[in-house]
Amino acid sequence: MNRDTIIEVRDLCNRFGRNVVHEHLDLDLYRGEIMGVVGGSGTGKSVLLRSIVGLKRPSAGEVKFFGQNLLTLDAGARARLEQRMGVLFQGGALFSSLTVRENVALPLIEHAGLSRKDAEELAEVKLALSGLASHAGDLYPASLSGGMVKRAALARALALDPDVVFLDEPTAGLDPIGAAAFDQLLLTLQKALGLTVFMVTHDLDSLWTACDRIAVLSQKRVLVADTPERVAAYDDEWIQNYFNGPRGRAAYSAVQGN
């Protein structure tokens, strides 16, 4: 089967002083898939995400987005390419002094050149897509519940109609009902908008429910990247403990309807 590769990570290395987080890391992200990225503490899941979206320059290696190396592009070309990415950061990272509507409208004003009126009207559409009620646009981040913060941050990530959305622990801090609702929203949006999704998560329910493939970070590289079933069967102690321990079995059984 031919696969359209959107992102290619090759021979990536990330060092912090003498601490080597990634070394000779390779990873592909295919168009239209939802990829979950997991790994033990210190394996650099968020560091990998930040390296791909251009927020951290790796120590070595290359990151190609639609065949273009982000690390060698000039500022203008890189900015245009980065507009094809949307990012939901841990904790939402919303501007506390702006309303939810203003948070979502901001990239439309800054990057798409829309007037404030047009940007805020389009922001309302993005908020509706993310499952927020119309009145939520008038609220400030401090007034939002955890689930509403995630949805508002997702609406902002979708503001510029990106090809790829990066999610950093999107269900962290949510109760099981809220996390399940977010997973279903993600699946709905992925199908409706044709999104490609790169999701750092430790949520076993999300991995089994939403992901087409799972990449496991271990030993400073991607140990395996495959379907959830094949990853769960991979002969590695950490993977077996993670996917086939009591919580992993419960999450799998829930998805299977057992």
Longest dimension (CA), the chain: 55
Instruction: Give the pLDDT score at 91.
Output: 79
Question: Measured between alpha carbons, how far is 13 from 61 in angstroms, rounded to an integer?
Answer: 6
DSSP-derived pairing of the beta strands 68-69 and 19-30: unpaired
Task: Say what the pLDDT of residue 146 is.
Answer: 87
- Domains along the sequence of the chain with CATH: 5-84+162-257 (3.40.50.300)
Q: How far apart are CA 210 and CA 34, in angstroms?
A: 7
How many CB atoms are located within 10 Å of the residue 237 CB? 8
CB 63 within 8 A of CB 71: yes
Residue with tokens 């919580």: 247
Structure tokens at 240: 């077996």
Q: What is the pLDDT along the chain (258 residues), one digit of tens a residue?
A: 347 999 999 999 999 999 999 999 999 999 999 999 999 988 999 999 999 998 899 999 999 999 999 888 888 888 888 889 999 998 788 999 999 999 999 999 998 899 999 999 999 999 999 999 889 999 999 999 988 999 999 999 999 999 999 999 999 888 989 999 999 999 999 999 999 999 999 999 999 999 999 999 999 999 999 999 999 999 999 999 999 876 766 666 766 664
Q: Cα–Cα distances in Å, from 160 out to 4, 106, 205?
A: 22, 10, 29
Please give the Cα distance from 63 to 121 (Å, whole number): 35
- Res 257: pLDDT: 65
pLDDT at 1: 39
Residue appearing with tokens 């996917």:
243
Cα–Cα separations (whole angstroms), residue 55 to 78, 81, 198: 12, 13, 15
Question: What integer pLDDT is reported at residue 250 of this predicted model?
Answer: 67
- pLDDT score, position 186: 94
